[in-house]
Amino acid sequence: MIKLFSLKQQKKDGEASPRSGNQKKPSAAQLRIAKDINELNLPKTCNTEFPDPDDLLSFKLIICPDEGFYRTGRFVFSFKVGPNYPHEPPKVKCETQVYHPNIDQQGNVCLNILREDWKPVLTINSIVYGLQYLFLEPNAEDPLNKEAADVLTNNRRLFEQNVQKAMRGGFVGGIYFDRCLK
Amino acid sequence: MGDSQDPLNKRWDHLRKILERPGPFCHPEFEPSPEILDFIMTGCKILVIGAGGLGCELLKDLALMGFKQIHVIDMDIIELSNLNRQFLFRHKDIGSSKAEVAAAFINKRIAGCQVTPHFCKIQDYDESFYRQFHIIVCGLDSIVARRWINGMLISLLNYEDGVLDQSSVIPIVDGGTEGFKGNARVILPGLSACIDCTLDLYPPQITYPLCTIANTPRLPEHCIEYVKVIQWPKENPWGIQLDGDDPQHIGWIYEKSMERALQFNITGLTYRLVQGVVKHIIPAVASTNAVIAAVCATEVFKLATSCCIPMNNYMVFNDVDGIYTYTYEAEKKDNCLACSQVPYTIPIKDPAKYKLKDLIELLCESASFQMKNPGLTTVIDGKNKTLYMSTIKSIEEKTKENLSKSLVDLGLRDNSEVMVADLTSPSTMVLKLKYLVSDVEME
């Protein structure tokens, strides 16, 4: 059992004798993200970019799907990891304009583990796989872009054409999409 | 002699009875003496973090208990809605610093008490500030702030060859309330469960699925979240980030969520609800704050005087229906990211010649590490630095030149800490470099 009253002696006598070379430790979020990043195991369709290698808390993920509706496209996501990671999920935005039922024009992504189903045991890798899955299996049940979801449900051929048109750069449903082919 | 020794001053008689006599519930090593009261009144330095609902109570309790060297830190200013329970503030104080007004009030009201205010964020101070205190008491409403101060006090721990130097421990007494519920806990950093050990106890913030708020809202909260998460960034009416304390911003959110609620035939949306959702307001009850602060102040007293064994270590309180309390021992987590990091000392003979790749080779080849792809990071002058990480191509390319640099050239000094992540260990490991030459010799 620690007896803190004896501390008074120590504080009185050797008041603030800073230990040489003592440095501020990285936060728990830093320690955890270093682990997540060092152990990223990316599928061959995915790549990361760290604009500043000293800042592991903000980076980009590039997904180039090799099958499905979005094959030949190139989609960039920005990741921002906050000080409360892994208690809170990172903030993920899609920076590429995409015609997708679960991604809106502002880059918001509807993926359960990015919000309501996030758990601290999940890692950056889990999110990467979740995002990749969105391109393989767009989900019309929980839409963020309702028009795209309706097309996907009612006419898969038209949906496929719309995706192609958007990726080549052009208007779909009155909205202009920038070219994002690989 | 402090005024505690003045025989004419009867004010402290009740404390003398506790501190100058032994008793059945005393700490086994408690030695009754008049010096202890003197210590409380002259030597013992307490930091109160937060001057809000709990903070006002804590300051009053501690000051009336005889503590005189009190510091209080709070970044907030006083608002009208605080006045019903934050009793150190008056209507004229609205807009002033909570820390400053609270300190001035206590100093005026309680003779001899010297409360020092700090009108800033806890993150604005470094370890030299926090190291001066004997005990830190928190009346916070944020998990981020709790984790920060927890991490700060853990970073002040001193380990000699893996053994904790107990004199480097600064106890945290943490209180929290939510309506009629509250909790109080005692944390001895490095010795007992810390904030990060029990992080799962905090309920996750309420979030709604994005697709629900975008397409199938059913609750008024869904409409408010929609405007906050989607419509604000899109329309950005003032070209700045949403500020929950700005009535103009809240007004805009209220107006837009009302439109959306009408569109989906949702009722029950009020201005107060908008404020609550946007600012994550937790209802506050004055009596709960008073109970929790009293428990915390008692624990501070026990820790400072050793007159009684401190609480072990987590108490929950609930008076929604009758009164319920329960105290149990929250357990320290073996792989806690914050407090299980006992640095592993690595002796370095010649740091001016020892290269980063030599260190990595050691980590991969020595029998006690046997790592596979260690990723190394550190903190230099308060800034994070990635030393080397082979698994990520873009980082590898930018850090590979570090491999052939010496530890000294990389800015690492004697006692510098290097964080190592590797798939062979469940969490990031901390290495402490011990240079076997003095800094003077190196220069």
Place of tokens 């920038």: A178
Contact residues, chain A, for B167 at CB < 8 Å: 6-7, 10
What's the mean pLDDT in A25-53?
90
- Whether A181 and chain B come into contact, CB under 8 Å, resolves to no
The pair of three-digit structure tokens given for residue B389, joined into one six-digit string: 């990480």
* Residues contacting A133, CB < 8 A, separation 6+: none
Q: Which of A:108-147 have CB within 8 Å of B?
A: 108-110, 112, 114-116, 118, 120, 142-144, 146
Q: Which of B:12-71 have CB within 8 Å of A?
A: 27-30, 36, 39, 43-45
Q: Which of B17-26, B51-60, B154-163 ranks highest by mean pLDDT?
A: B51-60
pLDDT in tens, B81-113: 899 999 999 999 999 999 999 999 999 999 899
B313: preceding bond cis by omega (within 30 degrees): yes
Positive or negative torsion for Cα B344, B347, B351, B355 = negative
- Whether A66 and chain B come into contact, CB under 8 Å, resolves to no
Whether the pLDDT of residue B440 is over 60: the answer is no
Q: CA B422 → CA B152, B365, B375, B377, B400, distances in Å?
A: 25, 14, 6, 12, 17
Closest Cβ–Cβ partner in A2, A39, A88 for B423: A39
Per-residue confidence (pLDDT) for residue B370, from 0 to 100: 87
Short-list B159, B164, B154, CA closest to B434: B159
What's the mean pLDDT in B211-219?
87
pLDDT in tens, B327-340: 999 999 988 888 88
Would strands A91-94 and A170-172 be described as parallel, antiparallel, or unpaired? unpaired
Say how far apart CA B121 and CA B337 lie, in whole Å. Answer: 24
* Residues contacting B364, CB < 8 A, separation 6+: B370, B371, B372, B374
Per-residue confidence (pLDDT) for residue A17, from 0 to 100: 42
Closest Cβ–Cβ partner in B196, B211, B423 for A144: B211
pLDDT in tens, B406-437: 999 999 999 888 999 988 877 888 898 989 87
Whether the pLDDT of residue A6 is over 70: the answer is no
pLDDT in tens, B385-408: 999 998 888 899 999 999 999 999
Q: What is the pTM of this model?
A: 0.79
Q: Which residues pair with B430 in a beta bridge?
A: B419
Say how far apart CA B190 and CA B157 lie, in whole Å. Answer: 7
Say how far apart CA A146 and CA B230 lie, in whole Å. Answer: 15
pLDDT in tens, A85-114: 888 899 999 999 999 999 998 999 999 999
Per-residue confidence (pLDDT) for residue A22, from 0 to 100: 47
- Whether A100 and chain B come into contact, CB under 8 Å, resolves to no
Question: What is the distance in angstroms between the Cα of B90 and the nearest Cα belonging to chain A?
Answer: 35
Place of tokens 């035939």: B265
Whether the pLDDT of residue A118 is over 70: the answer is yes
Whether the pLDDT of residue A11 is over 70: the answer is no
**Catalytic residue from among B211, B223, B307, B364:** B211
Over chain B, what is the mean pLDDT?
90
Question: What is the distance in angstroms between the Cα of A110 and the nearest Cα belonging to chain B?
Answer: 6
Percent of chain B whose pLDDT exceeds 70: 97
Contact A32 B374 (CB under 8 A): no
Per-residue confidence (pLDDT) for residue B441, from 0 to 100: 53
Whether the pLDDT of residue B23 is over 80: the answer is yes
What is the DSSP secondary-structure string of B311-338? P-SEEEEE-SSS-EEEEE-PPPPTT-TT
What's the mean pLDDT in B191-196?
94
> How crowded is residue B275: how many other Cβ atoms within 10 Å of its Cβ?
18
What's the mean pLDDT in B218-227?
93
> How crowded is residue A72: how many other Cβ atoms within 10 Å of its Cβ?
13
